[in-house]
Chain A
Amino acid sequence: MKTETEPIAPSTTGTEVALPKRLSPRKIRRARRRKALSRFWSQFRVNKMGMFGLAIIIFFFGMAIFSIFANKGRLDPTITTNGPILASPSWAYPFGTNLQGISVLSLVVEGSRISLFVGLTAAFISMVIGSAIGIWAGYRSGYSDIILMRTTDVFLVLPWLALAIVLAAVFGANMWVIILIIGLTSWAGTARLVRAQVLSVKERTYIERSRALGGSDWHVVTRHVLPNVMPVIFANTILTIAIAILSESALAFLGLGNPLEPSWGTTIEDAFRNGALTLGKWAWLMAPSTCIVLVVLAFTMVGFAMDEIVNPRIRER
């Protein structure tokens, strides 16, 4: 037809106002994103709960990064150190030492890296699967919806702990196996939430308009559906991180963690199994437990704070 090859005539007036000449679209987009981010930050900053949680998270992330350099090769549980065994808290060993004479503080620092890594990676996997399935089910509806949602229901009611124990027994207690187990079993909630959002978004007229102007399903989903459900996905993922960290600790406490990669859960299990309670070595048990509580609490607080900002229904204005 008449226009497909015809170059579009640049307008002669007015557009200088609309579009500064030397800015490329990418730069415009970047500037826009920066602006959106700074708007988000200014709202987040005044949220006390969110800022408190963020401070805790930053503290533990710092600890995790520190551990990469600090603990190189010193935490091998198969060797014995020269330090005192089962020491009580002192200046040299703030949380005492364990049965091998390793400082519990070192274990906790090392655990921060492993617990956070497992939590973040598993939550990411869960987010990707959950969003993909939720968007597909909500957008396509019909048979895809029925099949995907019944599958989601199965994952929702799955006794995941029993499943995780079986899987870990079959594939070996390896950090990546744990990550996959948690990631592959925790996406159901996200999928339902995303589907519900998509169902309400896809009926809006601008979706029909986008289809009418020739957008493919992929185009409509990435340009209109995803940006509209993204805030929900994001806030939900932060909460999923907390759950993933908790799950990892639970699995490790049941002895499914890798003893060579001591997460907080592994340390708790070690302390519990070796009778830290009867021996009165409370710090051995309390230090990693407190870390778990703090991190999970922090992620939950940040998640709620973000929900308050991105969810217009509970936003305070």
Chain B
Amino acid sequence: MSVLSVDDLRVTYSTKGGDVPAVRGVSFEIDKGEVLGLAGESGCGKSTIAGAILRLHSPTTKIEGQITLDGKDILDLSPGKLRAARWTGASIVFQGALHALNPVQKIGDQIVEAITVHRMADEREAHVRAGALLEQVGLPPRRIDDYPHELSGGQKQRVMIAMALACNPSLIIADEPTTALDVMVQAQVLKLLRSLQHDLGLAMLFITHDLSVLVEVSDDLAVMYAGKIVEEGPANEVFHTPVHPYTKALAAAFPEIGDDRFRRRPSGLGGDPPDPQQIPSGCPFHPRCAEVTQVCPELVPELWDAGSGRFAACVHATGAPSLQTTNP
């Protein structure tokens, strides 16, 4: 049984300017011991999904579809049951650890908080456990009495990871855990996350805009555009032989060091991501697409089979209904 299954998830923010559909029908599953990478530009709905899994959005935000975590229907839980499921079922490594730690509390106390909120141990035991957790993420346990400002960025992110492990969750949501860290530290944190995930057999949802990071840590990869998954499949294949033009553009945006072609012609993607309130008709990517066809502005693509266990929401996918004939 999968640890997390998300079925046709739709999240709509209600703002003064009207409803904003941030996630428009996303489905995926994560099994025990598996890492799913979620990629996409800023504002494509990645973090919104993370918030929806633990129902962290404000009550005015509309969440439809089904989220099943450890066999529990998250969207159906009473507030008390939901609180109990938070962190014990799934925990989050937040984007920007620098702000996710309370500056006026010692880091040890903040890890202890996670344990005592769920009454999993008394305060003394929880302190002992916090020390052990710090050791597990490669920090000396004596740092337990340090305040967040006494730690470096990478160390803070390690504390966040320790905190995420505090209640032995079955799923860890890593929401851009390496943003604002330099490349060396980034690599260390990724290695740590990957080894912990492997050793503890955790399921992990890894969210980032950095496709090259995802290839390193994830088994499967899902690429999002304008609130929908546009391509998914095994990480290596999706990255190295992308089918969807958007994935191609993302993959091509990472220069290969030493490759002359990238020096002469750095490639990127023109245009801006669409306004969620005015999503283009048909395939939402067609105004920016390099391989746009005549049908694209009318046909809403679904995730069609694209060969070797992959799916892509593009008319160029091999499994797409034979529409290429209309292409001049």
Binding site for B on A (CB under 8 A): 1-4, 6-11, 13-15, 17-19, 24-25, 204-206, 208-216, 219, 223-224, 227-228
Please measure, in the bound complex, the distance between the C-alpha atom of A227 and the C-alpha atom of B124, giving whole angstroms: 22
Residues of chain A lying within 8 A (CB to CB) of residue B168: 2-3, 6
Please measure, in the bound complex, the distance between the C-alpha atom of A79 and the C-alpha atom of B113, giving whole angstroms: 63
Residues of chain B lying within 8 A (CB to CB) of residue A223: 113
A18:B142 contact, CB within 8 angstroms = yes
Please measure, in the bound complex, the distance between the C-alpha atom of A2 and the C-alpha atom of B201, giving whole angstroms: 13
Residues of chain B lying within 8 A (CB to CB) of residue A6: 168
Binding site for A on B (CB under 8 A): 54, 56, 70, 83-89, 91-92, 94-96, 99-102, 104-105, 108, 110, 113-115, 117-118, 120-121, 123-132, 135, 140-142, 144-145, 163, 166-168, 170
Please measure, in the bound complex, the distance between the C-alpha atom of A293 and the C-alpha atom of B67, giving whole angstroms: 65
Nearest CB of B to A229, in Å: 11
Please measure, in the bound complex, the distance between the C-alpha atom of A14 and the C-alpha atom of B133, giving whole angstroms: 11
Residues of chain B lying within 8 A (CB to CB) of residue A208: 56, 94, 100
Pick the contact of A1 from B56, B83, B170 — CB < 8 Å?
A: B170
For the A-B complex with A7-B125, A8-B126, A10-B129 known, give 6 more contacts whose Cβ atoms are closer than 8 Å: A2-B170, A8-B125, A11-B135, A15-B141, A209-B92, A214-B117
Pick the contact of A8 from B91, B99, B113, B115 — CB < 8 Å?
A: B115
Nearest CB of A to B110, in Å: 8
Closest to A219 in B: B117
Closest to A19 in B: B127
Please measure, in the bound complex, the distance between the C-alpha atom of A4 and the C-alpha atom of B117, giving whole angstroms: 12
Please measure, in the bound complex, the distance between the C-alpha atom of A4 and the C-alpha atom of B70, giving whole angstroms: 14
Closest to B50 in A: A212
A212:B141 contact, CB within 8 angstroms = no
Please measure, in the bound complex, the distance between the C-alpha atom of A204 and the C-alpha atom of B100, giving whole angstroms: 7
A209:B88 contact, CB within 8 angstroms = no
Pick the contact of B84 from A7, A19, A214 — CB < 8 Å?
A: A214
Pick the contact of A212 from B87, B101, B105 — CB < 8 Å?
A: B87
Please measure, in the bound complex, the distance between the C-alpha atom of A251 and the C-alpha atom of B124, giving whole angstroms: 53
Residues of chain B lying within 8 A (CB to CB) of residue A17: 140-142
Residues of chain B lying within 8 A (CB to CB) of residue A1: 70, 88-89, 170
Please measure, in the bound complex, the distance between the C-alpha atom of A231 and the C-alpha atom of B131, giving whole angstroms: 30
Pick the contact of A25 from B105, B124, B140 — CB < 8 Å?
A: B124
B128:A19 contact, CB within 8 angstroms = yes
Nearest CB of B to A222, in Å: 11
Nearest CB of B to A96, in Å: 54
Nearest CB of A to B93, in Å: 10
B141:A18 contact, CB within 8 angstroms = yes
A211:B56 contact, CB within 8 angstroms = yes
Q: List 20 A-B contacts (CB under 8 A).
A: A2-B168, A4-B118, A7-B125, A8-B128, A10-B128, A10-B129, A11-B141, A14-B140, A15-B127, A18-B131, A18-B142, A206-B101, A206-B102, A210-B102, A211-B86, A213-B86, A213-B91, A213-B114, A214-B114, A215-B83
Residues of chain B lying within 8 A (CB to CB) of residue A18: 108, 127, 130-131, 141-142, 144-145
Residues of chain A lying within 8 A (CB to CB) of residue B88: 1, 3-4, 214
Residues of chain B lying within 8 A (CB to CB) of residue A211: 56, 86
Residues of chain B lying within 8 A (CB to CB) of residue A15: 127-128, 131-132, 141
